[in-house]
Structure formats: C-alpha cells, structure tokens
Homo-oligomer: A and B are copies of this chain.
C-alpha cells in the first residue's frame, strides 16, 4: 500500500524559510526553497536556509522544484539547493525572472533547468499532476497549486489573500477553487501568516486614496520606502507620482534589480517621462520628485537607513521632505525601523508611518479569508502552513471553529511528517532538521558552539592571560601579560587588571614547586581569573590562558 508523505522542511517562523516536500513512492516534489532572516540570537549569521539533508539523501527521487512566487522566503535558498542537486525548476514568468537573477549572481544559471508555468496549465512530475491557480499576494504572478496524486487531490495555497480589487487586475481564482472543491480535496495546506488578524485583509486598492492624500499634501520631496518585491505597491506609487507631476527615482539596488526585471516582463510600467536617474533629482524642483527607496525594515545598509543617518550620497534629508513607510514591521525589526524614523524626524522630515497612516496592507489572508478558503475547499485533512507556531495553532483553531475535528488538523513542526494512505492520514516519522546558517561564504559550519561563543563574547568580551615560564624552575620568566577586548575600559581598569596579574603570579609561585603541568596550570589560571573578574565586575569574559615554557 503506497503512502504519500508531506514534510515541511522549513516554514516555521515569523517569516519562515519555506520548503515543503511531497513524497509518493520513489518520487519527491519540492514546493519552494526559501530563506529566513536571522533572529536576534543568531549572531553574525547572514541568513538561514532549510536543512536539505533529506533531499540530498534522496536526490534521485526529486522530480522537480515548483515555486509559488518570487519572495525571498520562497526562492532565496534555491541557489544553495541547486548547488547540490540538479532538479528542474518550475515557476511563473516573474518568479522565473527573479530566480534567474539570483542564479546568475551565484554562477548557477547555465547549469539550471528552468520551466515557465502558467495558471491552468498542467505540469506532470512523476505521479504528481500539478495545476497552478492564480492567487493575490504582495507580488504579481503568485500561484497556489492543485496537486493530483494517486491518493487524491492536494491543494497548497502558497502565500495568498483574497483581494476583490487588486491593483494588478486578477483576483484569486475562486472559480478554480470551487471546481477543486467539487472534485474533493483530501488535504489543504494553507498560508497562516496572518492567522492572528481578525476580519479581512484590506484590498491593495484602498491605498490609492491614502497615497493621493499624501501626495496632495506634500510640498517638498516625497520618499516612499517599501519592500523591493512589492511590485504592485511600486506601480501604485509610480502612477500616483505621475498623476501629481512628480518624476520617480529608485534608491537601492534590490529595488532597481526587481523593477528592471519586472519592467522587462511587463509587470511594471512607467508612464512616459516619469522615470529619472537618482543622480539627477537635484536638477528638479522638490515638488517634482518622488524617490522609491529600499530599507522599510530598517536594514542598516539599505537606502532609507543611509538617508536617516545622513550617509546617502544622492539625497540629504531636509526640512520639507515627506518620508512614507509603506510597510509593516516584521517582528524583530522594530528597533532599527524606529531608529530610522527618529533620525528622519530629527533631520526635519515629516515621516508618515505605522498602521494609522493607512499606507500599507498585508499580502496575506486574515481570519475571515482563511475561513472562506477552508469552507470553500472543505478538505478531509488540514495542514496550516507558513508562520510561527502560534500562527499555525491559531489557524488550526479557526478550523476547529468551522467544525473540523481535531484529529483531522495537523500542526506540523519543521521536519514533521504527515502520512496519507487509503486508510487516512496520520503523523509519520519525522525527518531530522536544524537551522542551516549561512555566514559569509560558508554554509552550515556555524552551529550551537559558535553561536554560544559569540553570545558570550558579545556580552563581556575576552581576556588573554599570557604566561611564560622558565623551563627548569617553572617560575615566571616575565610579568604575565593581560590582553582584553570588549571586557573593560582598560585606561580606567588599572586595579582590576593589576589584581589579575598578581593572582597569576600567586598561582604560578604556588605551582612552581611541582612538576610543570601547563595544562593544569592553565585551568587554575582560568578559574581564578573567572572568579576574580566576576567578583570585581560581575562580568564573565571568555578567558584564554596561554601558558608556555621557553624550552
């Protein structure tokens, strides 16, 4: 009796590294391969990718990788996966365009096999027959997937909302969903990112008036910061600017790249005479300028942070500027976002931000939309996907409210497995997964030990105690040398470092009578200095004793 297995390899998190595995017999279908930005305690880490070990162990089974849309948390880890395996990749035109840019910069484009998919057209991959359907999300060309398997129909929503008046024109394909419902859905996997939000997510169109109010009021330059991938928002800003006689410049490389790709593919359109290079804005009157900028999450190297700190070459913030943050804080980014806002205010800008401003709507379905999806499809089993654990649980509770029995709803942790056969669905054996950290050019070498070391160093720095002994007598050859970094302000710490020296002299003197076991001596010095520094400062620097004999 054949079994279908569903394993989310990533996906858990405020914004997770989404990657879901469907396996039937010797056939694996991979849905998305995203990255996650590091949490507070992942010190020095650039980003986190899913643990692909299970896929690498079963390379030969992978029939294809299908991408639901072009956001980093769905495509960002693809280069790391394609470095190890050579499966074909399936994506809608815009997603494909963004992936190509990404693979090119990793030097992987020539060896990748990419196929374009479009809503309504079937893709056959081994036992899986996949038909994408259009969904609304904060990037065009997003799809959900109807996946027909030998055990029945599985629906994966991708990231979605139900926007009846989207800027990009097409609504989530409710007709397709209704047809799928009539066919009978065994398992629904659905986006949980906004499961904590009651009601409906507002339409992107509701922003038209809000932006017009801002543009009508602003006397000076307008700078709009938003996500580089939020192309419908970018289009809205371009159109509003054109309407108010402003020309549009782009600040920030990721936004430039995305807009270039989207423009080539027809997803972004500049009215004639609207675009202007950033370097030329100083030639125009302030009230004819609109700048689209990266950095709405407070990223310290993005355009907006550099403007806020006065370090952006092309644009110095001044009295009269209006800065709009058309975005929402991803939890964990609040401090850096607010710091930018404070600094922009300090330089005289009028900053328009936050929920009250009404200049952002989410790209994810809120509770009533999630209920609609559940009630429309009425699957036999339900797996809340994409989101932090509390969001999955909240999504599950919505299903219970709609009458889904608890035993038919599966809240899966990363690596957990749902098994389906003709008898029904149940939890299967988990696959071991961990966070795989990308730090600099190395992937996966940073683990708990290094993070623990970095955490200790970040708190109290380190102290090297360098001790040289006479080989014959075991006595000190010279005064012990103490070197510290990040521990204490040395010019004013005379006493404490002096005491450390004396303590070492003490230990060595008591020790020199015996055999010169430098390892044991090092241990004693380390222990004594730990005690001494903690007593004197209540700090716990990392202590590195370096004992050598001059044999």
Contacts and interface: CB of A to CB of B under 8 A. Distances in A.
A307 to B, nearest CB: 15
A522 to B, nearest CB: 12
Contacts of A468: 548
A198 B354 CA distance: 12
Contact of A345 (B198, B343, B353, B390): B390
B488 A342 contact: no
B538 A441 contact: yes
Interface in A1-16: 14
A449 interface: yes
A513 interface: no
A275 interface: no
A400 B92 CA distance: 51
A454 B393 CA distance: 38
Contacts of A388: 338, 342
Contacts of A455: 458
Interface stretch (A22-30, A140-148, A329-337): A329-337
B336 A331 contact: no
| Copies of the chain in the assembly | 2
Interface string A139-181: 0000000000000000000000000000000000000000000
Contact of A390 (B331, B351, B487, B546): B351
A495 to B, nearest CB: 11
Contacts of A454: 457-461, 486
A44 to B, nearest CB: 4
| Count class of interface residues, chain A | 35 or more
B342 A390 contact: yes
Contact of A354 (B43, B196, B336, B453): B196
16 contacts: A39-B335, A40-B336, A44-B459, A44-B461, A196-B354, A196-B356, A332-B335, A439-B460, A446-B489, A449-B489, A450-B489, A457-B457, A464-B464, A464-B544, A483-B546, A550-B550
Nearest to A535: B441
Contacts of A285: none
The 9 tightest CB contacts between A and B, nearest first, are: A440-B538, A458-B458, A453-B486, A457-B457, A44-B459, A445-B489, A342-B389, A454-B486, A331-B334
Interface centre among A464, A485, A546 (most CB of B within 10 A): A485
Given A335-B331, A453-B461, A550-B550, A445 B538 contact: no
Contacts of A546: 464, 466, 483, 546
A215 interface: no
Contact of A544 (B332, B389, B483, B492): B483
Given A457-B486, A468-B548, A390 B440 contact: no
Interface in A454-507: 454-462, 464, 466, 468, 483, 485-489, 492-493
A332 B331 contact: no
Interface string A25-53: 00000000000000110011000000000
Nearest to A46: B538
A455 B538 CA distance: 20
A79 B455 CA distance: 29
Contacts of A456: 486
A536 interface: yes
A487 to B, nearest CB: 7
A537 B462 contact: no
Of residues A196, A338, A464, A468, which shows the largest number of chain B Cβ atoms within 10 Å of its Cβ? A338
Contacts of A446: 489
A72 B14 CA distance: 31
B196 A459 contact: no
Nearest to A340: B390
B43 A459 contact: yes
A214 to B, nearest CB: 15
A539 interface: yes
A281 interface: no
Interface string A317-351: 00000000000000110111010011101100001
A216 interface: no
A391 to B, nearest CB: 9
Contacts of A466: 546
A450 B487 contact: yes
Given A440-B539, A488-B442, A198 B356 contact: yes
A120 interface: no
A223 interface: no
B40 A542 contact: no
B457 A450 contact: no
A537 B442 contact: yes
A432 interface: no
